[in-house]
Structure 1
Amino acid sequence: MVSELVVFLGPTLSRAEAAGILDATYLPPAEQGSVVRAVRQYSPRALVLIDGSFGRVPAVRHKEVLWALAKGIPVFGAASMGALRAAELSAFGMQGYGFIYRWYSMTPLADDDEVAVAMSPPELGTAPLSEALINIRLTLRRAMHAGIVTADERCKLETLARDTHFVERSYPRLLADARSTFSEASAVALDRLADWLPSGALDRKREDAIGLLTKLARGSGFVGKPLNAPPFRLTEAWAYDLDAAGLWSDDIKLILSDEGS
């Protein structure tokens, strides 16, 4: 099967909305082996990494992105796991897009946790079940500038959000924790924030994903062979990763023959 574009998408943006922007083959969030499988199955003109899985499965490996780049396949990233990998691999030809990608590129020690969210399984649509820390922090900054909370209250709310495990982060949880720990003097501000959030909250991950898909739909993102993509070098660790992803028996001979081994 041949597909112009393959997009790894999950909780950041619904597949229906994404498909309305860009005609592509949409796959669940990438994990270890996903890039290799997609290239072997779809022979895509380009790959787009937005969401990725981790924790319950190994995350998509840097090495398989490098392998795709070395084969001349442009790889784009934005919003979530895609922004992370693009920031890490931009020197090798992966192309990043959006605010979150730029922020990770300029903040080498930033936590992966900033974009992590809980999500439902692929069978249930990989819907988001929590809120990303980076969205919460940007929303609180906006609330401060709008006079909803003070600078001190914003800092305390950010600390509460950061100290909450990513699977439990949400605005209702944040407000409940704040009400139980802040002084009574902040009660009015928290009520203001609760009333403001439905219209004022930012979702930067979603905005970045829409921006990248729109750019690609307009045909303004494609290049030829990825810039700076180095020749791919086979390693023992790469072979172990393929084996762990269940690709050894099916594809390893083809992959090795592709690389001239």
Structure 2
Amino acid sequence: MTSREDIVVFLGPTLPRERAMECLEATYLPPAEQGSLVRTVRALKPRLVVLIDGSFSRVPAVRHKEILWTLAQNIPVIGAASIGAVRAAELGPVGMQGHGLIYRWYRRTPFADDDEVAVAMMPAELGAAPLSDALINIRLTLGAARRAGILSEALRRAIETVARRTYFIDRLYAPIIASARSVLPAETHAELGRFERWWPDNAIDQKRADAIGLLRRLAATPGLPGPPAVRPAFRLTEAWAHDLDAAGLLTSDIADVP
């Protein structure tokens, strides 16, 4: 097992920390936000950064620029499952690595919305547990229900439309089904009831599956992934200097880390 100080994992609502520790012994930190990677690299000097979860509503999200900066320090960054999958798909051409179905979907789906993986969560101090369901998980579950003969294709599409129109902090199966029942014809209600009974035991949590898959892969792989084959060029910009200041950091904080 790789030592704890070698790997830092930003984790929140996607997977409970206790479950993550069963897969990989590492240093687990709360969801990343603007400035998190810089602070972590400066303080802990990890050999690998794993980005799974991030905060984005009450605080600014983790910036592309600080991932580029981390890569420029010859520290590999791998993303999966949530904001990590989004950033990995966006920054793959400059060396960030990705893992899992959600990452691959973002990589091949131009203009896919970050909203697909967004969930409400408890404060990090209380464990950052999820308070809503991710749209991508709901869509995969609806697809599974269609293949299992629980839903017709027409009703699958109708429920997905309701889920898409629901604000991410309110996305939960029960209220989505209730909303669908209120707007769809009465003849669909029996089918909705069948799905209502089916989903609790059959819902797909692809975010969790991708996170577990990455942690297990790292635990099973001797050593650590190497740094980017091409170290990305890094240049401080006025915009990122402003972001650093907003995060309580100084431009001196991004001097190359030995």
| TM-score normalised over the length of structure 2 | 0.95
Identity of aligned residues (%): 61
1:132-185 deviation line (CA, Å, top 9, x unaligned): 000000100110111101000000000000000000001001111111111111
Quote the Cα distance in structure 2 between the aligned partners of 1:241 and 1:3. Answer: 27
Q: Is 1:183 paired with 2:185?
A: yes
1:63 aligns with 65
Q: Which amino acid aligns with 2:134?
A: A
Quote the Cα distance in structure 2 between the aligned partners of 1:254 and 1:167. Answer: 35
Quote the Cα distance in structure 1 between the aligned partners of 2:90 and 2:229. Answer: 15
2:54 aligns with 52
1:170 aligns with 172
Against the structure 1 CA distance between its residues 183 and 259, is the aligned structure 2 distance closer, same or farther, given a 3 Å change threshold?
Answer: same
Matched residue SS, 2:5: coil
Quote the Cα distance in structure 2 between the aligned partners of 1:46 and 1:9. Answer: 14
1:192 aligns with 194
- Please state how far the C-alpha of 1:230 moved relative to its aligned partner: 1.4
**Does the 8 Å CA contact 2:146/2:156 hold for their aligned counterparts?**
yes
Quote the Cα distance in structure 2 between the aligned partners of 1:133 and 1:10. Answer: 17
Quote the Cα distance in structure 2 between the aligned partners of 1:59 and 1:200. Answer: 32
1:42-84 deviation line (CA, Å, top 9, x unaligned): 1001000000000210000001000110110000000000000
Matched residue SS, 1:202: coil
- Please state how far the C-alpha of 1:224 moved relative to its aligned partner: 2.2
Q: Is 1:255 paired with 2:239?
A: no
Quote the Cα distance in structure 2 between the aligned partners of 1:86 and 1:220. Answer: 22
Against the structure 1 CA distance between its residues 254 and 144, is the aligned structure 2 distance closer, same or farther, given a 3 Å change threshold?
Answer: closer
**Does the 8 Å CA contact 2:145/2:151 hold for their aligned counterparts?**
yes
2:147 aligns with 145
**Which residue of 154, 158, 161 corresponds with 2:160?**
158
Equivalent residues in 2 for 1:4-19, closer than 5 Å? 4-19=6-21
- Please state how far the C-alpha of 1:38 moved relative to its aligned partner: 0.6
2:226 aligns with 224
Quote the RMSD (CA, aligned, Å): 1.5
- Please state how far the C-alpha of 1:241 moved relative to its aligned partner: 1.3
Q: Which amino acid aligns with 1:80?
A: S
| TM-score normalised over the length of structure 1 | 0.94
Against the structure 1 CA distance between its residues 237 and 221, is the aligned structure 2 distance closer, same or farther, given a 3 Å change threshold?
Answer: farther
Task: List alignment gaps of at least 5 residues for structure 1.
Answer: none
1:73 aligns with 75
Q: Which amino acid aligns with 1:9?
A: L
- Please state how far the C-alpha of 1:254 moved relative to its aligned partner: 4.5
Equivalent residues in 2 for 1:98-137, closer than 5 Å? 98-137=100-139
- Please state how far the C-alpha of 1:4 moved relative to its aligned partner: 0.6
Quote the Cα distance in structure 2 between the aligned partners of 1:105 and 1:78. Answer: 12
Quote the Cα distance in structure 2 between the aligned partners of 1:236 and 1:209. Answer: 34
Q: Which amino acid aligns with 2:232?
A: P
**Deviates further, 235-244 or 223-232:** 223-232
Matched residue SS, 2:60: coil
Task: List alignment gaps of at least 5 residues for structure 2.
Answer: none
Matched residue SS, 1:118: coil
- Please state how far the C-alpha of 1:259 moved relative to its aligned partner: 8.1
- Please state how far the C-alpha of 1:41 moved relative to its aligned partner: 0.9
Q: Which amino acid aligns with 1:253?
A: S
Matched residue SS, 1:47: strand
Against the structure 1 CA distance between its residues 112 and 254, is the aligned structure 2 distance closer, same or farther, given a 3 Å change threshold?
Answer: closer
**Which residue of 215, 218, 224 corresponds with 2:217?**
215
Q: Which amino acid aligns with 2:23?
A: I
- Please state how far the C-alpha of 1:240 moved relative to its aligned partner: 1.2
Against the structure 1 CA distance between its residues 27 and 159, is the aligned structure 2 distance closer, same or farther, given a 3 Å change threshold?
Answer: same
- Please state how far the C-alpha of 1:253 moved relative to its aligned partner: 2.2
**Does the 8 Å CA contact 1:9/1:15 hold for their aligned counterparts?**
yes
**Does the 8 Å CA contact 1:115/1:133 hold for their aligned counterparts?**
yes
Matched residue SS, 2:53: coil
**Does the 8 Å CA contact 1:92/1:227 hold for their aligned counterparts?**
no
1:236 aligns with 238
